[in-house]
Structure 1
């Protein structure tokens, strides 16, 4: 049976009008886009202008909706509704509303009721209401309705009470509440309001026990500045000023927001918010902006009661001894770094000059040193901020370096922190900053901040390295368009090196070790090496350095000169300085590369003398001979061949040293005199290319006969150029042939060589063991399994023991000599490879400057042989590179021309045949290409001299082709003839004309 259920009827809704446009406005006020919010606010405010005469009910409803919107956490509602509320209030009360019963009191009631948290809400809803009250107060104050003549003064005090009551109850909102009152002080000043308003504000702040809080300090200072005649509560601050010097201790506790338990005595009333904020409190700006930078060196202080805490005293007491005290929490140190960062970004140079205080720098150093420390990222940001300030204001580098490495810092800051902070700072410093930095470094070299000898040496090494970095950074300005002239700074740095490197100065504590002095001498070479790359400083500073050494040795200003100079050497040095003086005079009158080259060569040769190089003495005499021929009064251009040859030998002496400085110097000087190199001089260079890359080759070149003499610059750290060991060990296959069979053959040879080496090592070990066994009168157990141990237990008398000792000594002495010979061979090979590299550099300069000289063709065959024979890939490639550059330059009118000498054409023909013979040797593919380039260059020279020579050239190529077909010893590659055929096609038209 079915039952019918009664059907309920829907209740009819009361009809009402919905203002769609108004709904959209309120929605847009919460938009995250600024332009949408502003457009919505403008649309709402336009309805409440005086000409629209809005009804009181409309005003009331709108204000209720706006105040309620401030309590919303949706999107950007508080920002949009706050703007609209401020403008609506301004429009509504912009004219007197005598007939209206709706006044400011009603606005405050709506604000209070809409933002009141009853306690039944959730935690988030309560927070939203608190923020709504805060934003509402700000909007009401900004609208200015509280300061109209018709508004009762009690309304102002009511707003203050509501704000401060919120700050008192909700400490996490105290800063925002204080900010509203702080900014209101400036607003009242701009409106030129009566001081009673700010007096009431300060009185309320004190009544809520917030005077001794960061907010209270900021408000008090603002009122003192904006309303000097205002009557403020007595006995709150000494002399009614939070910045009175006697309040520094209390101010430090207040600004770091110490808890009530930490405070004592007269600071008992200070209040802590109890909440840590990662952002810097606005009160810091209020305080810092009202401190002045006084001259710290001035001993006269004003005793006036109105005198305020200086920035220096404030920073030392409040920031350094407060936030950065050893007992401070990481959170307070975090604030300290924010302040440090703030002054770096915004502070004046006078302020920034005083922020590198002891506790701060110590904290910065410690936090930078370890990555997993809590404040490491803040410290890294601070270090970056220092660099940014210096990049924008280079003079600040002096302040920063002095702060990080001076009395409040650590000498080896970069080493301790594992950063390059100081290194980057000095690189960006200008000349004015460097004039302050360099004397600091001199002081640190003299007194490195420790009495421990090892630590002192380490600190001095670091300082010297930073000084060298300055030279390297500023030397480059000599080749750039720069308004800065670093000549005096660079000389000052090198003079400091000279002082501590060459003299027994008694003032350093502890005394400099010989190793440190050697290090500083190497730093001089490294600095000069960088300066030689500069056109601006290359010809002046090296001379200034040796002159400084000479003057110091004469005056003994820095103590005893460490180099012993006998009368003969002293006379040679004096003669050299006379020549240098003449060169300097000539340099002022004319610009001549030869003058600068001789001046540089003289200076560095004298420097070698001062460094104790015995060979430098003879070089001075040879140099004097060259100077007389090239630059002397009896200069005869037709009689300079001997001088040119001698000059080449001098440059080779420098080039043989494993030093970048002498390599660069030899290149510069050689470039100035390359066009005067003779056949003998070129032969001296070629002979080095043809020497073996071995101990025998070194003995042949240097005639040292294994005497063990080492290069004076062998121990240099920055200036030494060493050949990569990998090049010496792994690139031996460069001698392999062009086809697969030859490559396999060479690989087999390499394997055989490896096996032979292993066998040789095994034989040496076996021989050593045999000698050792013979000396001991024993044998290896595996060689005599039936041997008895009874003999080993036999007693020996003293004579027999002495005999065994002597035999053992001989065995180990022989073993040591064998190991030493292996090392000598390796070192000799490295030296020869280095020397050949330097000579190839010189030859590259020669072909660039003298490629049109017929003499340059003497290089073709030696370069080809070197590219084929060298077991070092680097050398082979470089030889090919020089030859490729040479043939590339010889084009058009730059092709060498055969002179009128009857023997010259035949010599060129012999060269062509020799090149073809060289091309027939087995070598890498690059060797064939080089031979082809060299051959075609010689062909161009012959044809340019006589077109008829082409017939004989064809015969030479035909003979080479015949050799390729008929002889198994001719390994010439097909590409050799391909290049020839291509040249014939391009040259045929010219040959027929």
Structure 2
């Protein structure tokens, strides 16, 4: 019947006619690879059997694969794609082109192009492959045939004429490909291409604006980039690739380019494209088009010269990227991160490009790109610039942001009236963008960056094996870099601004105070000889440590005969450690800044945190525990560090006992509502991550206010500060309008927490981290049990989580005492199993994992670890015997997973407790624990696991008999019992203990296992 239909294949046998119709229907199939296979078969048939009429097949394809506007869904899509593949088979068979070559008056080629264009216009996803099909067909056509058979067809002309208005990127792509092929100068492409055509005419602002809709609509195929963009990028870099980058090479030779205008002309096309298409069209449109803009930039960057990179990384591109990266919840956040990662990867191995990226990122972010995007991009790029020429290139570009190099070179050293002109930002656009305040921020960043550039400067990698000429060359390179830096500083130092009346009065008062202090110091030396020199030494040491650069300058400017100078520095104690056990100068300085100078305490502490003593750290930690509502216990001897540590232990026990009492007084908690430990950890981490930053911001906001202290603080006992300073604090508290004592203390605590976080960040592996953890954990518990401040509570939780539990390092070494770790572990386990506050319990669980990690690093023997196992057994015993226990078995399972040796030691104990536990829920929960222990043996040492299982084989058999006898009624619990028994049998088989198990298994237990376990027990049948 198929062969008898009127299909125009009269010259073909019925079997051939049927095969062709079947192949055409087959190309509409959506099955995997079916469409491609049928299309290949159709092309092979058409190529082999010349009797098949091409015109007949062209008519059969739309006839058999019907499509109407009313059709919806997969059927319409399959038929349209089938048509496309059918026409593709015609083109690939060569019959269309061959028939036209034999008879050039034949309309076959025009009809084919018309059919394909009309098909492509039906759906957006068909247009691009339709264009590819036309280009593939016309690849072997002469230019004259392209004009007569393709471009002059009415459907193509109509398509070109309306493409610019409706925004059709595929029509533009086809026009550009044909223009590239024929190089024709005719008005046959509508408004898509300018007449006469040239790259300069195509990239004019007016023409690009007329094509903006086409470029916008090309975003429909994301994440794939439309073919039009590959053509556009090739056009943009065509001239770029043919020219050497004169501007960059001239800057490396320390000369200004005398062909700036020609250089600008070569970048005109790129600049117009970036301004019109990237900035004004894509970046101001939808999320998809913003994403497309960044993809296009990444595609262009590796093919552009460093000077052209500064064009494409414009202010709007950088600001748009910053806006995306500053908001982690942004839809484009991942796309922004990917762009930044690719950008860094592209420029990492090319320092010229690296400098161009650094300059543009910082110029348009006012020196705050890393800060606003919360990344270390600029810092990492600067660290890659290490040789002399590249450092010089970077410094010159930094200086060019503000200073006209030619003007500075000619400027007399005693004139400052021209500095305002020299410090102008280069272009008019930059002048409008960088205001006075933003310019100050950018200058500040430049000043702070230059020392890092000098620090990274590696003039040679040969070490000391240098000839005299090489050494001279290295010194000259470094001197050249420093000279360029001085040009910038010479201008910046001469800049000034008029002080406000308040600043002027404060400056005068500061000078008067410093003068009075100097007079007082002189009087002390005269009035109290042989008594003041020790205090003077402390002042000198603090100043030298606080201002090391000034101290180095003083030393470098000293006379050549410095033998006596070294002895003097030894005599004044600045170079010798403090041997009498009293406070080191660093403690005095940190404590003074902490109480008197809140604005600089953080930066100063960051410098000295590596040198802080244990006494100074404990003084800071005590502040966190202070509570004005209760009396503060004091030690009998504040100078004795051992007694202070005992007090800390006592406080720990008292706090834990308080929490236990509070928990015992609460209502009984239903066992069935217990959650897994992972949920608790996730809740805590989410809370900490979301709130810790708020604590920082709030603290920074409050840090600049007047009062920092509370009259409840015994400053001379807490900080060992001079009584006169303590009196100053008390007098400030009595001033009118002072804040409440509690609010003052809380702000003071938050500032101390900031310093502690700095210490933990810089010293994660020191022993003192354990003391910090102990104090912070006590304060965290206390903030929940009492009416604590929410901000304070979240701040401590954030520090515990981020700086201690998740730190890259943990305290290690022989000086970390196992007894101390056991004490902390016991308290953490107690809080994890008894605290009614979910954040406290979760923090205690994380603390347990952290402490166990430290214990594992010590490599303790089995006898030493026995006491650690006892702590877990005590906690589990409380879980089985006390209904008020809030222990989550999931927490113990996680501990066993991370520390398999704990599971081996708890195996027998858990087996015993399951048999004696009456509560069905807790019995099943403990079965899960034992199951996780068995699971941990999969990758464990077989011999050690076999010994443990042999030792407790009888208990295991008895337990299986008991739980199979008393099967739970709940379906899920019955499944858990069977899962446990199956796991036990699998472990026995894997450890080759089958015979041992069969001997220990009673006949009753054997019957139960055979009945309840089914196939899992088959290998054990006798």
TM-score interval w.r.t. the shorter chain?
0.3 to 0.5
Question: Normalising by structure 1, what TM-score?
Answer: 0.45
Flag the structure with larger Rg: 1
